[in-house]
Amino acid sequence: MPDLLRLSAYEGAQLRGETLPLDAHVNTRGKVGLTLRVPCGVVVAITPFNYPLLLVVHKVAPALAAGNAVILKPASQAPLTALKLTEVFLQAGLPPNALQCLTGPGGSLGAALCADRRVRKVTFTGSTAVGERIATAAGVKKLSLELGSNSPVIVLPDADLELAAQATATGGYVNAGQVCISAQRVLVHRKIYGSFVDALKPRVEAIKVGASLDEAAELSAMISEGEAERVSRWVQESVEGGARLVTGGRRDGAVYAPTIVADVTPPMRLFREEVFGPLVGLTPVESADQAIALANDSRYGLGAGVFTRDLSSAWRFAREVQTGNVMINWSPLWRADFMPYGGFKGSGIGKEGPRYAVEEMSESKTVVFHGV
């Protein structure tokens, strides 16, 4: 986290404009043009529950570095970290009105903040449905929306199956699967489908489930019992529709066991919607063409991954799959803080990552001197 703060501060210090070659245009003698980067003004930052410190800093630090004032509205389920961070910033000498943290329900408080005419920029991480409501409420404002996902993984016949299974067992279950770039839809070539299931199952069954404060636990409770119940319903729907439960499928309160569902088909909700839980769905495919078509058969487009030893296949996947982040020979669940991060289609608009967020948090102003 300190590195992310320092990097944001550095990128804020790199804001610069450019000179404009006005003499390339007719009747512009005696004129000098340039651009300036200026702060947006007031930025509203609305953050989710799943990484209540990291994702707050990804918004607040670039906004402050660009010279803005920030109103932070953390998720109602996890506000305490944001409140403490605000306190720390103010104790460190941040001007009192540079950062304010307001807690409350997103439906009323968040909507009021987004609609306020004094706000010039809204940055939000959360579901696509809420992002659409924010875009409607905000009106003519700058928006950065990091929204839902349904990340596909393609496993081709020449893939390293052990690597693919290990990466899937990691990328599908970190943070109880409550990560927008979790591996969710694994599209496996039929030639190796059975072998991949056999390689993945013991790795998922080896995930240690325990209490949240148990340092040895690798998977614990979801954000609420209601969310665990929802995942359970989706799994049951899929099994009733012809899918096969390979492992897991058990719920204990808010804890849902790490689960694999095989033979998932495109009409199923597990294939079409964002699960946001400790679950991976497997779908057999007949070819790379079908795998790419199914990967793109989604209203989302945040992250994707492909496993192959063939460079041409990797490049084809990188070019043709409609996502903002593409991982070659790893799960979609990988992010470095400084890289550009954001999605296509219903997964949002704009980019995070300090350099890109600082640019999103500022505006370009054109200045022309006449008679120089």
Q: Which residues are catalytic?
A: 146, 180
Coil/strand/helix, residue 260: strand
Q: Is 19 helix (H, G, I), strand (E, B) or coil?
A: strand
Among 170, 172, 189, CA closest to 180 = 172
Q: What is the DSSP letter of 30?
A: T
CA atoms within 13 A on the CB side of 135: 17
Q: Max alpha carbon distance in the chain (Å)?
A: 77
Angle at 286 between CA 281 and CA 289, to 5 degrees: 95
Q: 214 CB contacts (<8 Å, ≥6 apart)?
A: 220
Q: Which amino acid makes up residue 147?
A: L
List, in sequence order, every residue forming a beta bridge with 151; answer none if it has no partner.
183
Q: How are beta strands 303-307 and 99-101 bridged, if at all?
A: unpaired
